[in-house]
Amino acid sequence: MPRLPLLLSALMAAPLFAKDVPLNNDPVQVVLPVNQEIRIDFPEMVTDLNVPAAANDRLQTLLKPNGVLYWKATGTISDNRVIATTAAGDVILLDIRTGTLPDNDRVIRLVTPAMMQATITPQVTPPNDSLPPFINAQLGAGDGNTAGTTADEYDYSELAAFAFQHYLGPARLVSGIPATRVKVPLIGKHLLRVWGDHLQLRVLNSWLYQGQYITAVQVRNTGVDPIAFDPRAIRGHFLFIATLHEVLQPRGSADDTTVWVFISDRPFNQAAGGR
């Protein structure tokens, strides 16, 4: 029996009483019943969840590696804005407050426009302005396979999430993708120059799965200015690049270091332009 596209499979696995909330440019309104748990399903892995201290003190939070968030308010919370950053670098704003909530609204599923339009037939992924042109070209190639997926239906964001999970929590939470660890490549001084040499890069790990090389790289800002992540500024033959944090703060700050994940169809050094 042919497998359904990954996106449709995720839709069919959604909770029976989940409330679908379309994602657009407006913040998502979240009402938290006091002493009762709610669940929010993000469309992909969340790598950073910024909760204001005033709300965090009255909020029990459990964020799973697959992008499922459990919240339980232990006291009254007035209007506060939470900023969630996904593995692909997308920012989702959540405006939270306590109040009454019907039982059927206690599971919220955040859906993208692409998810709302999903059908059984494979679709071409719409262009994403935050990705380099060569990535959009590959995602929309229409070669007969689901865009951006491997032979076993793992898409690029899932492969990136697999790498990120090694640095976000205990090993038991790492997804079961049967990737093989390969020799960690070295980054020469001039192999991958980005942002005027204000970023210091070090390869942490590299894996191989179904012809896809998944490489995790530690990135540190050595400059005095914050640097926003932009994959278009990175040269090389990469299929997908993701980050844990959208902005790297100046050196010496608590947030001056992050992890990037590169996916390529050749070893990292070759993809970056080396030999």
CATH number at residue 100: 2.60.40
Let me know whether 48 and 143 are in one domain.
Answer: no
pLDDT tens across 58-106, in order?
Answer: 999 988 877 889 999 999 999 999 999 987 788 999 999 999 988 778 8
Nearest alpha-carbon partner for 157 in 22, 8, 45:
45
Boundary residue ending a domain (114, 141, 173): 114
Given a contact cutoff of 8 angstroms between Cβ atoms, the answer to whether 49 and 202 are in contact is no
Given a contact cutoff of 8 angstroms between Cβ atoms, the answer to whether 97 and 114 are in contact is no
Comparison of pLDDT for 108 and 10, the residue scoring more: 108
- Number of separate domains in the chain: 2
Q: Is 170 helix (H, G, I), strand (E, B) or coil?
A: coil
Let me know whether 148 and 263 are in one domain.
Answer: yes
pLDDT tens across 218-230, in order?
Answer: 989 888 888 888 7
Let me know whether 187 and 88 are in one domain.
Answer: no
pLDDT tens across 47-63, in order?
Answer: 889 999 989 999 999 88
Question: 1 in a domain, yes or no?
Answer: no
Question: 176 in a domain, yes or no?
Answer: yes
Let me know whether 101 and 140 are in one domain.
Answer: no
For 13, the domain range is 6-114
Q: Is the pLDDT of residue 259 over 50?
A: yes
Would you state the pLDDT for residue 74?
A: 94
Q: Which helix (H) or strand (E) holds 162?
A: helix 156-165
**pLDDT band at 146, cuts 50/70/90?**
very low
- 142 CB-near residues (< 8 Å, 6+ apart): 124
Q: Among 36-40, 88-92, 102-106, 253-257, whose mean pLDDT is lowest? A: 102-106
Let me know whether 189 and 87 are in one domain.
Answer: no
Boundary residue ending a domain (91, 114, 137): 114
Let me know whether 132 and 109 are in one domain.
Answer: no
Question: 166 in a domain, yes or no?
Answer: yes
Q: Is the pLDDT of residue 242 over 50?
A: yes
Question: 119 in a domain, yes or no?
Answer: no
Given a contact cutoff of 8 angstroms between Cβ atoms, the answer to whether 192 and 238 are in contact is no
**Region 17-31 average pLDDT:** 87
Q: Is the pLDDT of residue 147 over 70?
A: no
Would you state the pLDDT for residue 14?
A: 37
Would you state the pLDDT for residue 60?
A: 92
pTM of the full structure: 0.48
Boundary residue ending a domain (86, 114, 142): 114
